[in-house]
Amino acid sequence: MSRIWFITGSSRGIGYEAARAALAAGDRVAATGRDLSALQQRFAGTGTDRLLPLALDVADSAAVQAAVDATLAHFGRIDVLLNNAGYGQLGLFEEIGAEATQRQFATNVFGLFDVTRAVLPAMRRQRSGRILNITSVGGIIGVAGGGIYCAGKFAVEGFSEALAAEVEPFGIRVTIVGPGYFRTDFLDASSIRHGEHAIADYAEASRQLRNFFDGRNRQQAGDPAKLGRVLVELAHHPAAPLRFSAGSDAVEVVRGKIARLAWETDAFEALSRSTDFA
Ligand SMILES: NC(=O)c1ccc[n+]([C@@H]2O[C@H](COP(=O)([O-])OP(=O)(O)OC[C@H]3O[C@@H](n4cnc5c(N)ncnc54)[C@H](OP(=O)(O)O)[C@@H]3O)[C@@H](O)[C@H]2O)c1
């Protein structure tokens, strides 16, 4: 059955590849992005019966409902919501200002909430729907130099787990997709943001962090075109999981987190249990 997708951040990277894969699978797509002309160029040749390009900055809460309404007016329904739009605000916590922190959350967290809030009434009416929320390995472990980015991705993980339970009675399934490193523009200067307030104490740590991420740019093991096809498979899968790790590195991170949680829970179990009333 052909499905209707609503994808945020479809002009580049994972969102673009997911849109391409959905079209290749015979689905139809509302491809949203901040730059409408870039979207039109990237999807040139695909008719509006199959692809609806829409301008949407997810941090612009007033624009979100309009984009969802335009999709419903055009295609009549939304079967799959892919919350993909996002960027990495990297840097050591003290070197990132409050405004940059708020901008990160406005896109990666509150933007995702707003889009989900706008799409859910249609999915509830339909009594069916799939929501794929792109988080990250940074939603599983916090790493030095990723505190603000990880905080946002952890927020989306917790939100998605709760939402999954709330909307399951309406036939709506939520899947968290946690990618490892994928070869997109994510670590490129066109996407990534670094801390802007240099602090002498952190100079060496900050330099090492930038070198680490610069060194990984364009070397990531993950292929976004393959992830695009996997997202389509998950959207059609009758028993899609609550949480899916994308990439071998992501699998290792999740296994490491499980092992550490298990070890610490066991090691301190008696002390943990000691706080109950007798
Ligand atoms: N690549 C990785 O290694 C990796 C790993 C873990 C998680 N992720 C997550 O995967 C998602 C996609 O990233 P990517 O790897 O595809 O990076 P990318 O190549 O930099 O693409 C990011 C996409 O998000 C869009 N975007 C950013 N802010 C937006 C906003 N306010 N409103 C609408 N669109 C916005 C960008 O649009 P513009 O073209 O307008 O900038 C672009 O289409 C993100 O949520 C990211 O956190 C990526």
Q: How many angstroms is it from 277 CA to the middle of ligand 1?
A: 48
Residues 193-237 have pLDDT tens digits of: 999 999 999 999 999 999 999 999 999 999 999 999 999 999 999
Contacts of 5 (CB under 8 A, 6+ apart): 18, 19, 22, 27, 28, 29, 30, 78, 79, 80, 81, 82, 235
Which atom number of ligand 1 is nearest to the Cα of residue 220? Answer: 3
Chain centroid to Cα 175, Å, comes to: 11
Residues 61-79 have pLDDT tens digits of: 999 999 999 999 999 999 9
Residue to mutate (ligand 1; options 7, 10, 12; most atoms within 8 A of CB)? 12
10-residue averages of pLDDT along the chain (278 residues): 95 98 98 98 96 98 97 98 98 98 98 98 98 98 97 98 98 98 97 96 97 96 98 97 98 98 98 97
Which residue has its alpha carbon closest to ligand 1 atom 17?
Answer: 186
Q: Where are the domains of the chain?
A: 4-88+100-186+222-248
Give the model's pLDDT for residue 62: 94
Which residue has its alpha carbon closest to ligand 1 atom 46?
Answer: 86
Give the model's pLDDT for residue 1: 77
> What is the Cα–Cα distance from 131 to 278, expressed in whole angstroms?
43
Residue to mutate (ligand 1; options 8, 34, 135; most atoms within 8 A of CB)? 34
Chain centroid to Cα 230, Å, comes to: 14
Give the model's pLDDT for residue 274: 98
Mean pLDDT of the chain: 98
Which residue has its alpha carbon closest to ligand 1 atom 40?
Answer: 34
Please state the three-class secondary structure of 136-154 as a single string: CHHHCCCCCCCHHHHHHHH
> What is the Cα–Cα distance from 81 to 6, expressed in whole angstroms?
5
C-alpha distance from residue 116 to each of 68, 109, 132, 156 (Å):
10, 11, 10, 11
- The proportion of the chain whose per-residue pLDDT surpasses 70, expressed as a percent, equals 100
Range 4-88+100-186+222-248 classified under CATH 3.40.50.12280: no
Query: Which residues are identified as catalytic?
Result: 149
- The proportion of the chain whose per-residue pLDDT surpasses 90, expressed as a percent, equals 100
Give the model's pLDDT for residue 106: 98
